[in-house]
Amino acid sequence: MSEPELVASLATDEAGHPTVVDRKARKHFQIVFEVKNAPKDTYAAIFELDRSYYDSRRTLPPDPDGNFRLVTSAYGDFPLVVRLHTKHGEEIVLRENVAEALRRSRPSGPSDPSYAEALDYIATH
């Protein structure tokens, strides 16, 4: 069995441009965080976002495929922690900075330059 993996991606519109949630001072990009390959007995994933979020700890059940998916927005980089809880009492902790997760999970092949610009924006804020 594969190890649990955190996958992050920028949500995009039909043209492949990152989805921007308009904010006054900064661009907020819609981001999808997914945990794949969670143990089959994982019943919850707690996503710990930056403390500046109103609801910085979000607990999610698995989807029908056993994956955990959080859609949120962010303007900058921060350390993300995901805690997986299993029915056998095990806690698996995944840690990665948002910018690093986005770069690692970036789709291969040619992409719209606005995707790279969004990654740079997030990494520097």
pLDDT digits (tens, 9 = 90+) for 41-73: 999 999 999 999 999 999 999 999 899 999 999
The predicted-structure confidence for 82-122, as pLDDT tens digits, reads as follows 999 999 999 999 999 999 999 998 766 556 789 899 999 99
The total number of residues shown for the chain amounts to: 125
Q: Which of 123, 97, 90, 87 is nearest to 33 (CA)?
A: 97
pTM, two decimals, is 0.92
CA atoms within 13 A on the CB side of 111: 18
Residue position matching structure tokens 């492949």: 16
Tell which CATH classification among 1.10.150, 2.60.40, 3.40.50, 1.10.3470 matches the domain 5-123.
2.60.40
Would you give the end-to-end CA distance of the chain in angstroms?
37
